[in-house]
Every structure is written in C-alpha cells, then in structure tokens.
Amino acid sequence: MAVTGGPPVPPAREGRALGAWVLRGLTAAGLLLSADVHLVLFVEGYQDIEVVGPLFALNAVAGLVLGLLVLVWRHWLPLLGAVGFGALTLAAFYLSTTVGFFGVHESVGGTQQVLAAASEWVVVVAGTLALVVEGRRSRAART
C-alpha cells in the first residue's frame, strides 16, 4: 500500500508499522485497565490505607496518562515508561501477596487482583515488544 504523497512503502515495513500500532494499542489497553482497577480499589477502601492508598491513586493517574501518551506520542519514551510502570506495579503486587507491602497482605484470587496482574503483564510484554519492533523499524529506515 502506498502512502499518499510519498513513495510506496515496502510490505515488510508496512507490516512492522501495523504490528507496532497493534502492540501500542495492547500496551495502552493494559495501562488503562490497570488504571481502572487501581481507581476502583482506591474508591472501595484503599484510600484509607496509609502509603498504599496514595500509591493506588498515583497508579490510577499514571496508568491513564501513560496509556494516552503511548497512543498519541510516537516516541520510545512513553513505551519505556509503560514497561517500567508495569514492572514496578507487578513487583509491588507480588510483594503484597508474599511478604507484604507497607503492611498490606493481598490475596491473588480476587477479580480485581487477577485483572490488575494480567493487565500489567500485558503492559510489560506488549510494551517491550513494541520497543523492539519500533527500534527495528527505526534502524531499517536509516539504512
């Protein structure tokens, strides 16, 4: 398929571009779901927990902002931020389910907990793959 006003795009590059957008979309979806889960849990009582309550509010805002940035800013920085967000949020979750996190000992079985963990794994995996695909596209464009 040719880009209007420019030379035809080779099929391999076109496929990578589509793949990068799909991965960005998955990353953003994971971020937005994680933000939603943290907001729901914050409103349902986590706001009363010292340290963890404000962190849940921060996660809700950060997930929303990063999710939007991943979609609208075609740069590697929002993807890197998304991967970091997902990894740190997963680490905090796994700490809370094992040894505790700032006094909170969480279970793994609740719907919100499963949704949060799954969404953050999506963010880490899709965000990392998007970085790789877009890095390859960038290097291929320079050659």
> What DSSP letter does each residue of 87-134 carry, written as one string?
HHHHHHHHHHHHT-BTTB---S-SHHHHHHHHHHHHHHHHHHHHHHHH
Q: Cα 96–97–101 angle (5° rounding)? A: 15
Q: Is the sign of the CA dihedral 89, 95, 97, 102 positive or negative? A: negative
The pLDDT confidence band at residue 107, using thresholds 50, 70 and 90, is low
Residue 100's pLDDT is 65
Cα distances from 37 to residues 2, 49, 85, 128, 137, in angstroms, run 41, 16, 14, 22, 33
Question: What is the pLDDT at residue 94?
Answer: 83
Band of residue 7 on the pLDDT scale cut at 50, 70, 90 = very low
User: What is the pLDDT at residue 76?
Assistant: 92
> Residue 98: what pLDDT?
77
What is the rounded average pLDDT of the residues 121-141? 84
Whether the Cβ atoms of residue 70 and residue 82 lie closer than 8 Å to each other? yes
